[in-house]
Amino acid sequence: MLEGLFQPMHLLIIFGIALLVFGPKKLPELGKGLGESIRGFKSAMKAEDEKPAGTTATVAGPSVTKG
Protein backbone atom coordinates (compact mmCIF):
# COMPACT_ATOMS: atom_id res chain seq x y z
CA MET A 1 0.00 0.00 0.00
CA LEU A 2 2.78 2.47 0.92
CA GLU A 3 5.56 0.89 -1.13
CA GLY A 4 5.80 3.67 -3.75
CA LEU A 5 5.26 6.58 -1.40
CA PHE A 6 8.67 8.31 -1.57
CA GLN A 7 10.02 7.86 -5.06
CA PRO A 8 12.79 10.22 -6.23
CA MET A 9 10.44 12.16 -8.49
CA HIS A 10 8.03 12.77 -5.60
CA LEU A 11 10.86 14.06 -3.42
CA LEU A 12 12.00 16.43 -6.18
CA ILE A 13 8.49 17.83 -6.53
CA ILE A 14 8.21 18.33 -2.76
CA PHE A 15 11.60 20.06 -2.70
CA GLY A 16 10.57 22.29 -5.61
CA ILE A 17 7.36 23.36 -3.88
CA ALA A 18 9.28 24.05 -0.65
CA LEU A 19 11.77 26.13 -2.63
CA LEU A 20 8.96 28.17 -4.16
CA VAL A 21 7.18 28.69 -0.84
CA PHE A 22 10.15 29.48 1.43
CA GLY A 23 12.79 30.73 -1.00
CA PRO A 24 16.41 29.67 -1.32
CA LYS A 25 17.61 31.70 1.69
CA LYS A 26 15.15 30.24 4.19
CA LEU A 27 15.54 26.54 3.32
CA PRO A 28 18.95 26.05 5.00
CA GLU A 29 17.65 27.74 8.15
CA LEU A 30 14.58 25.50 8.18
CA GLY A 31 16.74 22.40 7.68
CA LYS A 32 19.06 23.42 10.49
CA GLY A 33 16.16 24.05 12.85
CA LEU A 34 14.56 20.73 11.97
CA GLY A 35 17.85 18.88 12.52
CA GLU A 36 18.39 20.54 15.90
CA SER A 37 14.87 19.68 17.04
CA ILE A 38 15.30 16.04 16.02
CA ARG A 39 18.65 15.85 17.87
CA GLY A 40 17.05 17.41 20.96
CA PHE A 41 14.18 14.94 20.85
CA LYS A 42 16.56 11.98 20.52
CA SER A 43 18.74 13.17 23.41
CA ALA A 44 15.65 13.67 25.60
CA MET A 45 14.45 10.16 24.78
CA LYS A 46 17.90 8.74 25.57
CA ALA A 47 18.04 10.65 28.87
CA GLU A 48 14.59 9.33 29.79
CA ASP A 49 15.68 5.75 29.07
CA GLU A 50 18.84 6.13 31.17
CA LYS A 51 16.94 7.46 34.20
CA PRO A 52 16.89 4.84 36.98
CA ALA A 53 13.50 3.40 37.86
CA GLY A 54 13.86 4.24 41.57
CA THR A 55 13.87 8.00 41.03
CA THR A 56 10.26 8.25 39.93
CA ALA A 57 7.81 8.93 42.72
CA THR A 58 4.16 8.13 42.72
CA VAL A 59 1.66 10.33 44.48
CA ALA A 60 -1.43 8.77 45.97
CA GLY A 61 -4.61 10.73 45.59
CA PRO A 62 -6.78 11.67 48.58
CA SER A 63 -9.10 8.98 49.80
CA VAL A 64 -12.75 9.96 49.91
CA THR A 65 -15.11 8.33 52.37
CA LYS A 66 -18.85 8.74 52.28
CA GLY A 67 -20.77 8.52 55.42
Q: What is the pLDDT of residues 13-55, one digit of tens each?
A: 988 998 899 888 888 898 899 899 999 999 998 888 877 655 5
Q: How far apart, in Å, are the Cα atoms of 45 and each of 13, 14, 50, 52, 57? A: 33, 29, 9, 14, 19
Quote the pLDDT of residue 60: 60
27 in Cβ contact with 18 (< 8 Å): yes
Quote the pLDDT of residue 37: 93
Q: How many CA atoms lie within 13 A of 52 on its CB side?
A: 2
Q: How far apart, in Å, are the Cα atoms of 37 and each of 8, 14, 50, 52, 54? A: 25, 21, 20, 25, 29
pTM to 2 decimal places:
0.48
